Structure 1
């Protein structure tokens, strides 16, 4: 199991992060939270990547920018508060936090670091791929808002996963991404909704989650 560490971004912001896995592991990943914070689910994802796949993983507590230790419930109340907290954080600050995680992994000798984001974190993973050069590969699961930035050029290979029944991300958005990014690998899971990879959410779809996980692991194995 992992543990909480403290990191410092380039702007001197101190934030908590969850670290899992052996620093001497061959591969490294930054895992980026949903709109609900550094939840037990995100920690479990890190633990699985470390225990079953041998990754050294760090997941930043992004809400520390505005509220320390904010972990929200998977319901409408939690979603509303998460959106409010997100609105108070500049995108550049989010990138500073995930970049600080990448640099911490670099410090342990990992020359190539991947980034894996879920929900809000899925958009951040896309922006980390297009706006920084700190990552060797990026994967996004149901990242809302990517279409708006899909004209931006990625500096590393990217893989995107969406639910075909996702009411938060229109099919037109996915089509826009396809048109603007013909070289980006995109998977759509027909019977899956938003958050299909999280067992703590009503939308959890085990078949879609397992297939997306398999594809994600294969993608990182090829690029890290």
Structure 2
């Protein structure tokens, strides 16, 4: 069952979310958007995970600044997404993620995020204890968020050619956390997992996706 729902946070903010409930759900999974909103690509990501038995919830994290945001991948879309992100306090976004997790009534809940959502997945793993596994795809802010221990198993996926996350920044993460599984994909750039972007890299995406599925199968 696919549907659009509303969630209420601890500070009484009401936000939209996309939910996909498979026939026989195995566990819950929060899917976090890029800076382009809960757009058709993110909904497809949710649907693909639901095919593997996960009850999916994807919160509309831009709702605190502007509702019903669904952007494409052109330069103007990116500019708009960055400006929207700047309008929202990170602590408020974390409340939205917590509300999404609390909506999922399972013993184990995972979280996966892309771009902005990749960084937020890391924050969720270090600043809450709600998740049993976190997969973080090309989160550019992660190297600046290394102050806390993580409370669940974590894996990270980066592109070798991603200038927003240079290799020395990835090495900094590796030095800080020797128990995080970090994968760097050769010849892949930022957004390599998004079929709607020019940077889509089929081989890197398929390998990262399989690693993510195996990771969740093991931990959820």
What range describes the TM-score normalised by the shorter chain of this pair?
A: over 0.9
* Residues 150 and 176, structure 1, Cα contact 8 Å, conserved in 2: no
The 1:154/1:23 distance shift into structure 2, 3 A limit, reads: farther
Task: Quote the RMSD (CA, aligned, Å).
Answer: 1.1
* Residue 46 in structure 1 maps to residue 46 in structure 2: yes
* Residues 24 and 53, structure 2, Cα contact 8 Å, conserved in 1: no
Q: Following superposition of structure 1 onto structure 2, how do residues 129-140 of structure 1 map, counting pairs within 5 Å?
A: 129-140=125-136
**Aligned match of 2:108:** 112
Task: Look up the SS of the partner of 1:117 in the other structure.
Answer: strand
**Aligned match of 1:32:** 32
* Residue 63 in structure 1 maps to residue 59 in structure 2: no
**Aligned match of 1:99:** 98
TM (normalized to structure 2)?
0.97
TM (normalized to structure 1)?
0.96
* Residue 75 in structure 1 maps to residue 74 in structure 2: yes
Task: Look up the SS of the partner of 1:100 in the other structure.
Answer: helix
> Matched residues in 2 for 1:111 and 1:99: separation?
15
> Matched residues in 2 for 1:141 and 1:147: separation?
13
The 1:195/1:156 distance shift into structure 2, 3 A limit, reads: same
Q: Following superposition of structure 1 onto structure 2, how do residues 121-200 of structure 1 map, counting pairs within 5 Å?
A: 121-200=117-196
> Matched residues in 1 for 2:93 and 2:147: separation?
20
* Residues 151 and 180, structure 1, Cα contact 8 Å, conserved in 2: no
How many residues are matched? 220
Unmatched 5+ stretches in structure 1: none
> Matched residues in 2 for 1:24 and 1:133: separation?
25
* Residues 29 and 58, structure 1, Cα contact 8 Å, conserved in 2: yes
* Residue 11 in structure 1 maps to residue 11 in structure 2: yes
Cα deviation for residue 23 of structure 1 reads: 7.4
Q: Deviations over 1:56-83 (max 9, x none)?
A: 0000000001100011220111111111
Task: Look up the SS of the partner of 2:104 in the other structure.
Answer: helix
* Residues 21 and 47, structure 1, Cα contact 8 Å, conserved in 2: no
> Matched residues in 2 for 1:54 and 1:30: separation?
13
Task: Look up the SS of the partner of 1:192 in the other structure.
Answer: coil
Unmatched 5+ stretches in structure 2: none
Task: Look up the SS of the partner of 2:111 in the other structure.
Answer: strand
Cα deviation for residue 118 of structure 1 reads: 0.2
**Aligned match of 1:222:** 218
Q: Deviations over 1:185-217 (max 9, x none)?
A: 000001110000000000001100000000001
